[in-house]
Amino acid sequence: MHGADPERGRFRAYLLGAVKHFLSDEADRANALKRGGGQTPLSLDFADGESRCPVAAAPADHDTPERMFERDWALMLLDRVFSRLAAGFAADGKDDEFERLSGFITDVDGRGTYATVAADMGISEGALRMRAHRLRDRYRELLRTEVAETVGDETEVDDELNGLFEALRVP
């Protein structure tokens, strides 16, 4: 509005027009549908909401993208070494032996105890322990070879292996 102008009419008419505009604007604001207009508002009950949300039960992953990349790289490298080891046994026709011994590559006896696996294979427990030891040595050798292919200098292999195991460490 430009204000009261005596040439346009009386002041009273100006005030009446201003009040009508004001009341009209107020009525529009009061009847406006806002934020989902006309819908029943939902209460945010955080305790109840968290219990019903399946994401709340999922573990949070606080790793940085860099740490996740390093872990994925380490797992991929270990998987490639494991595959090369398996391929070596397969080339010698020893698939079954590798299947039984592969659980002993780590310290986790996932395939059974030495005694039960040795009995299944028809060899002594001492012989099985020796085969498992040789398998771990071969795995370690292949791992060093695989890591050596990713670094520029042989002196960096040990540092890279330490980085690999650090990437696999659970925080």
- 47-81 pLDDT, tens digit each: 666 666 555 555 566 778 888 898 998 999 999 99
Mapped onto helix, strand or coil, the DSSP state of residue 76 is helix
- Region 147-167: mean pLDDT is 89
Spell out the domain ranges in the chain: 1-32, 65-168
CB 118 within 8 A of CB 128: yes
Report the 10 Å Cβ neighbour count for 153: 8
What is the pLDDT at residue 13? 73
What are 109-123's pLDDT values in tens digits?
556 788 888 998 999
Q: What is the mean pLDDT of residues 18-24?
A: 88
135/140 Cα distance (integer angstroms): 9
Whether pTM > 0.75 for this model: the answer is no
Phi, psi of 81 (to 5 degrees): -65, -40
> What pLDDT score was predicted for residue 84?
95
Q: How far apart are CA 30 and CA 25, in angstroms?
A: 9
Spatial distance between the Cα atoms of 95 and 99, rounded to a whole number of angstroms? 6
CB 70 within 8 A of CB 77: no
d(CA 70, CA 76) in angstroms, rounded, equals 10
For residue 15, name the pLDDT band (cuts at 50, 70, 90).
Answer: confident
pLDDT of residue 12: 75
The pLDDT tens digits for 123-150 are 999 999 999 999 999 999 999 999 998 8
List the structure tokens of 6: 């005596």
